[in-house]
Amino acid sequence: MTATASAPDRATVETIFAARLRAMTVGSVALVSLLAFEALAVGTAMPTVARALDGLALYGIAFGGPFAAGVVAMVISGIWCDARGPRWPMWSGLGGFVVGLLLAGSAITMGTLVVGRIVQGFGAGLLSVALYVIVAKAYPEHLHRRIFAAFAAAWVVPSLVGPLLAGLVVEHVGWRWVFLAVPVVAVPAVLLVHPGLRSIGAGRATVAGRSPDGPEPGVDGPVRPRRDPSGPLTRIGWACGAGVSAALLHIGGQQRGATAVALVASALVGLLVCAPRLLPGGFLRAGRGLPTVVGLRGLASGAFVGAEVVIPLMLSRERGFSPTAAGLVLTTGAVAWSFGSWLQGRVRAPRSRATLPRTGLACITVGVAVVGLTVLPAVPVGVGVAGWAVAGTGMGLLYPSLSVLTLELSAPGEQGRNSSSLQLCDSLAAAAVLALTGAVLAAGAAPGPGSYGVTLAAAAGLALVGALLAGRVVPGVRVGAA
């Protein structure tokens, strides 16, 4: 009786800042913030970097290269975490991230900077998956929604101040410090996480605070590892193909005319061939359980990014907004995302796993559709701002809940693989939608209400498809199971 009664009490009292988890939480959230800051700040600094190093010809690969390296690293990190635990992927990721930043910050040629960016992207990919596996193995199940909410909130401050701070650094200190300052914080952050990593292994560790032999909620029987006919080397090979395709998307998006069409088309074909091999079986047919969870992450990412890239352009060209004012509109979405993440971490767990994903995707659908109304001159911009806040709230409700579901639906030896699949689908979907959105906007002599309306309608459509599929995150019950 005592043991049975103590579990709820602990679940009620313990938080992500409990004594045994405090250092792990602070270090992990700091790492997420640093990854977010660097991802956002580099875009601000890179035009100055390209001019200073006379490297405009390598501008596209300076973004596409790190993205491709990150895709490959996510797959390697998933394999490594499942085999050996997250400790060494974490340290290796930190090493790559820091070395890449130091190389980029001290570069005297654009080629050296690109190499540094690629090493940095590889390290970031290792780190991002390792952090998910740490959550699976170090935090009890009742804290998963809250720690993922903290990860989401860790993106908000960089989203608000990252580009501005990077601009100030570039203008008053020098562009090199956008890269060189980050390791000063990254190393202490990992040192905070390190003590907790000693007790985390691989294999049949407890998943989400549940015995590996216990029944999976909503499924008649335990979660068991999937049989994968392809070995690690084959999987890494497909990741390399997907990474190269993603890099071509970035490069093609910066070209014009037939070159852009050829690069983007070949990249999309490459993604269609390679990406499904890296995602759960049944992904393309929205199979119940994990395949749908991963697919929803891609649909949501594509919908939000597809709208986000259009909004400032539309407001500046059609409504006369300054870049600062258009940026403030995007800020409402970032703040609302944080609010939605906070909210899902505080409300009582819904009876159905599908509730939060469905609600989040419905909010994204409605929010982006409302933003789309602002292509009409008669619709006040304030309506679009409110719509974008609704969409951001939906992302906040959705993202942590999908991360939690991924861990719940993962067998003990598959947390890394499935976490990498989730993040891969997110990244690749965003890259594909950005490329296609750019193609639509560049199709005419100049973007106009028609092209804005088409891209926003497509973004809302992606979210609507996700909302309709959300019920499939609940796995089917096996008939005749013992």
Digit-coded pLDDT (tens) for 356-398:
999 999 999 999 999 999 888 888 989 999 999 999 999 999 9
Average pLDDT of the residues in 402-408: 92
Report the alpha-carbon distance of residue 254 to residue 257 in Å, rounded: 10
CA distances from 201 to 5, 81, 101, 416 (A): 29, 9, 29, 12
- Here the tokens at position 279 are 């995602």
What pLDDT score does 414 carry? Answer: 87
Q: Are 381 and 434 in contact (CB under 8 A)?
A: no
Q: Which of 68-72, 189-193, 211-215, 344-348 has the highest mean pLDDT?
A: 68-72
- Give the confidence band of 447 by pLDDT, cuts at 50, 70, 90: low
Model pLDDT, residue 476:
64
pLDDT at 335 over 80: yes
**Beta-bridge partner residues of 210:** 207
pLDDT digits (tens, 9 = 90+) for 218-241: 443 445 555 555 678 888 999 999
Rg of the chain (C-alpha set): 22
List Cβ<8 Å contacts ≥24 apart for 40-43: 40/158, 40/159, 40/162, 40/163, 40/166, 41/158, 41/162, 41/163, 41/165, 41/166, 41/169, 41/178, 42/117, 42/166, 42/178, 43/163
* More confident of the two residues 213 and 451: 451
CA distances from 19 to 1, 12, 145, 171, 287 (A): 26, 15, 19, 42, 40
Cα distance between residue 475 and residue 478, in whole Å? 9
For residues 289-315, one letter each, b for 16 or more C-beta atoms within 10 angstroms of the residue's C-beta and e for the rest, the string is bbbbbbbbbbbbbbbbbbbbbbbbbbb
Judged against a pLDDT cut of 70, whether residue 205 lies above it is answered with no
Q: What is the dihedral of CA 296, 299, 302, 306, to 10 degrees?
A: -130
Phi and psi of 443, rounded to 5°?
-65, -35
- Distance (Å) of CA 142 to CA 209, 252, 314, 371: 8, 44, 42, 36
Average pLDDT over residues 440-459: 76
Torsions phi, psi for 210 (to 5 deg): -125, 145
Ranges of H-type helices in 106-182: 110-138, 144-153, 156-172, 176-180
Mean pLDDT, to the nearest integer, of 394-403? 93
What was the pLDDT predicted at 209?
Answer: 40
Residue found by looking up tokens 């998943």 in the block: 207
Between 477 and 52, name the one with better pLDDT.
Answer: 52
Structure tokens at 2: 């005592």
Whether the pLDDT of residue 94 is over 80: the answer is yes
Sign of the four-CA dihedral 189, 194, 196, 200 = positive
The predicted structure's pLDDT at residue 15: 86
- pLDDT of res. 468: 96
Report the pLDDT value the prediction gives residue 215, as an integer from 0 to 100.
39
**For residues 119-131, b (16+ Cβ closer than 10 Å) or e, as one string?**
bbbbbbbbbbbbb
What are the structure tokens assigned to 9, written together?
A: 């009490």
Q: Stretch 421-436: mean pLDDT, rounded?
A: 87
- Predicted pLDDT of residue 261: 78
The least confident of 7-11, 195-199, 373-377 is: 7-11
In contact, 187 and 34? CB cutoff 8 Å: no
Show the domains of the chain with their CATH numbers. Answer: 20-212 (1.20.1250.20), 281-475 (1.20.1250.20)
Is a pLDDT exceeding 90 seen at residue 422? yes
Strand partners, 207: 210
pLDDT digits (tens, 9 = 90+) for 156-171: 777 777 777 777 888 8
Q: Which residues contact 449 (CB under 8 A, 6 or more apart)?
A: 318, 375, 376
Give the pLDDT score at 445: 53
Q: Copy the structure tokens of residue 430.
A: 């965003």
Alpha-carbon dihedral of residues 37, 41, 42, 48, nearest 10 degrees?
-160
pLDDT band of residue 5 (cuts 50, 70, 90) is very low
Q: Please check the confidence at residue 26 and state whether its pLDDT lies above 70.
A: yes
pLDDT of residue 30: 87
> What is the model's pLDDT at position 328?
78
- Under a CB-based contact definition with an 8 Å cutoff, are residues 74 and 424 in contact? yes
* pLDDT tier, 246 (very low <50, low <70, confident <90, very high otherwise): confident
The model's confidence at residue 438, banded by pLDDT at 50, 70 and 90, is confident
The chain-wide mean pLDDT, for the chain, equals 82
**Per-residue pLDDT band at 436 (split at 50, 70, 90):** confident
- Rounded Cα–Cα distance for residues 291 and 349 (Å): 22
Name which residue leads in pLDDT, 279 or 11. Answer: 279
Chain segment 37-74, per-residue pLDDT in tens: 887 777 778 888 888 888 877 777 787 788 888 989 99
Pairwise pLDDT comparison (75 vs 36), residue with the higher score? 75
How many other C-beta atoms can be found within 10 angstroms of the C-beta atom of residue 469?
18
Is 252:66 a contact under the CB 8 Å cutoff?
no
Under DSSP, is residue 236 helix (H, G, I), strand (E, B) or coil?
A: helix
Round to whole Å and give the CA distance between 273 and 267: 10
In this prediction, residue 199 carries a pLDDT of 64
**What is the DSSP-derived secondary structure letter of residue 207?**
B
Please give the pLDDT value at position 431.
83
Question: Is residue 75 very low, low, confident or very high in pLDDT (cuts 50, 70, 90)?
Answer: very high
How does 21-42 read in b/e, with b if 16+ C-beta sit within 10 Å?
bebbbbbbbbbbbbbbbbbbbb
Q: Which residue has the higher pLDDT, 248 or 113?
A: 113
| pLDDT > 70: percent of the chain | 86
- What percentage of the chain exceeds 90 in pLDDT? 30
Measured CA to CA in angstroms, residue 475 lies from 216, 272, 421, 472, 478 at distances of 10, 25, 18, 7, 9
Q: Which of 129-143, 150-164, 248-262, 281-295 has the lowest mean pLDDT?
A: 248-262
pLDDT confidence bin for 263, thresholds 50/70/90: confident
Q: What is the pLDDT of residue 126?
A: 94
Q: Got the DSSP string for 379-417? A: S-HHHHHHHHHHHHHHHHHHHHHHHHHHHHT--TT-HHH
